[in-house]
Amino acid sequence: MSHKAGFVNILGKPNAGKSTLMNRLVGEKLSIVTPKAQTTRHRILGIVTEPDQYQIVFSDTPGYLEAKYGLHKAMMRFVEMAIEDADVILYMIDVTDPSDVESYRTEILQAESKLIVVLNKVDQLTDESLPALIESWKVLAPKSEVIPISAEDGLNTSLLMERIVALLPEGEAYYGPDELTDKTERFLAAEIIREKIFLNYKQEIPYASEVGVDAFKDEGKLLRIEATIYVERATQKGILIGHQGKELKKVGTAARLDMEKFWDKKVYLGLFVKVKDNWRNDDRLLKYFGYKLGS
Ligand SMILES: Nc1nc2c(ncn2[C@@H]2O[C@H](COP(=O)(O)OP(=O)(O)OP(=O)(O)O)[C@@H](O)[C@H]2O)c(=O)[nH]1
Ligand SMILES: [Mg+2]
């Protein structure tokens, strides 16, 4: 059999389970996952290589949303790029969200790429609605396969993987056999901190926060990581730090434990908090945080 390789891009609404699925298919926690919408802000590659057989370059993407800030516009550019360069699109639908069928994206259904409609979170269905849901998606996307899965439990994810490989075009590998992602260790460290912020605070704090890693030093037995959390207002800084620094400490400890697991090493994590007014609409800062802007 000749070698296969291609870009398999995961698209869908916020909270559909895109990052959960990519992590499962890649077998590493590359993308952060939280119960809150708009967790993922970047396009994150996850690479699976089966030597002499195939290489799948998955892309996790931000969930679709109406852009209110410069940040959102940058996020939606990542989504547009992922529609354009996909060989295979995994269009992910959350079966627990009834609005998903009504608000499907025609630009995805009409994209040139091959399409698999992935009905996620079927572990949550308590009624007999799945067969009708599958049928309704077969009508919307007659040329595509419709596969019900649970990204969290792993139900049908091996079958999904088989179908993805079947749809991959022939071609040479894009990345080296040991490469896992396009993202740097600094980026992954910043994301782990952002996940803990999403999990630890309610309402606007997660959305008003961004994380920049200032230092990432491998000192042999210890990884020394220093990072700054940026918020938009002084009041948010107070909430983030909490009484006697308690809340920030919780975030720091949870992030450090995950980092130690991911890098299999002891980690020292230093966290600082700074206010950057209106960073979500500031092109210069958005660029600094790694968002691609432009027309
Ligand atoms: N019950 C159930 N929950 C799931 C499943 N897949 C994901 N979740 C949960 O759904 C929530 C959102 O998952 P994510 O993977 O962060 O979703 P996402 O599509 O990446 O979200 P954004 O990054 O915000 O666009 C998390 O709480 C997950 O644990 C599933 O198959 N079953
Ligand atoms: Mg995500």
> What CATH number is attached to the domain comprising 94?
3.40.50.300
CB 160 within 8 A of CB 116: yes
pLDDT in the model for residue 230:
97
Q: What is the pLDDT of residue 294?
A: 66
Domain count within the chain: 2
295 lies in some domain: no
Distances (CA, A) of 88 to 99, 108, 182, 183, 197: 24, 11, 19, 21, 33
> Would you say residue 173 lies in a domain?
no
Residue 43 above 90 pLDDT? yes
Is it the case that residue 101 has pLDDT exceeding 80?
A: no
pLDDT higher than 70, residue 295:
no
pLDDT in tens, 110-153: 888 899 999 999 999 988 999 999 999 999 999 999 999 999 99
Indicate which ligand has the atom closest to the C-alpha of 11: 1
Is 62 inside a domain boundary? yes
One domain for residues 210 and 132: no
Is the domain of 146 the same as that of 44?
Answer: yes
Buried b (16+ CB within 10 A) or exposed e, 160-172: beebbbebbeeee
Residue at which a domain ends, from 167, 193, 228: 167
Q: Cβ(150) to ligand 1 under 6 A?
A: yes
Q: 294 lies in a domain?
A: no
- The sign of the torsion formed by the CA atoms of 249, 251, 256, 258 equals positive
My answer on whether 151 and 229 are in the same domain is no
Same domain, 25 and 161: yes
User: What per-residue confidence (pLDDT) applies to 36?
Assistant: 97
Query: pLDDT per residue over 163-220, tens digit each?
Result: 999 999 999 999 999 999 999 999 999 999 999 999 999 989 999 999 999 999 999 9
- 206: Cβ below 6 Å to ligand 1? no
The pLDDT-based confidence of 99 (bands split at 50, 70, 90) is confident
Task: Say how many C-beta atoms besides its own lie within 10 A of residue 141's C-beta.
Answer: 18
One domain for residues 109 and 195: no
DSSP H/E element including 152: none
What pLDDT shows up at residue 78? Answer: 95
Q: Choose one of 167, 198, 231: the last residue of a domain.
A: 167
Do 22 and 143 sit in the same domain of this protein? yes
> Which mutation among 20, 24, 41, 157 tests ligand 1's pocket best, with the greatest number of atoms within 8 A of CB?
20
Residue span of the structural domain in which 194 resides: 185-288
Q: Whose CA is nearest to atom 26 of ligand 1?
A: 35
pLDDT band, very low/low/confident/very high, at 82 (cuts 50, 70, 90): very high
The protein residue whose alpha carbon is closest to atom 12 in ligand 1 is: 15
CA 82 to CA 168: how far, in whole Å?
16
Q: How many helices (H) and strands (E) does the chain have?
A: 11, 9
Q: Is the pLDDT of residue 69 over 80?
A: yes
Residue nearest to atom 30 of ligand 1 (CA): 121
Q: DSSP strand E in 135-219: where? A: 145-148, 210-218
User: In this structure, which residue's CA is closest to atom 2 in ligand 1?
Assistant: 121
Q: Which ligand is nearest to the CA of 63?
A: 1
Residue 109 — very low, low, confident or very high, per pLDDT cuts 50/70/90? confident
Same domain, 47 and 130: yes
Same-domain status, 133 and 203: no
- Domain match, 13 and 83 both: yes
What is the residue with the minimal CA distance to atom 16 of ligand 1? Answer: 33
- Model's pTM, two decimal places? 0.96
Any domain includes 265: yes
For residue 52, is it within any domain? Answer: yes
Residue-level pLDDT at 292 = 77
CATH code for the domain in which residue 271 is found: 3.30.300.20
* Whether the CB of 181 sits within 6 Å of ligand 1: no
Q: Are 56 and 148 within one domain?
A: yes
Mean pLDDT, the chain, whole residue set: 95
Residue 293 resides in a domain: no
Q: What are phi and psi of 162, to 5 degrees?
A: -60, -45
Of 132, 167, 202, the domain-final residue = 167
156 and 18 assigned to the same domain: yes
Nearest-ligand number for the alpha carbon of 44: 2
Do 119 and 251 have their domain in common? no
CA 38–ligand 2 middle distance (angstroms)? 7
pLDDT of 230-255, one tens digit each? 999 999 999 999 999 999 999 999 99
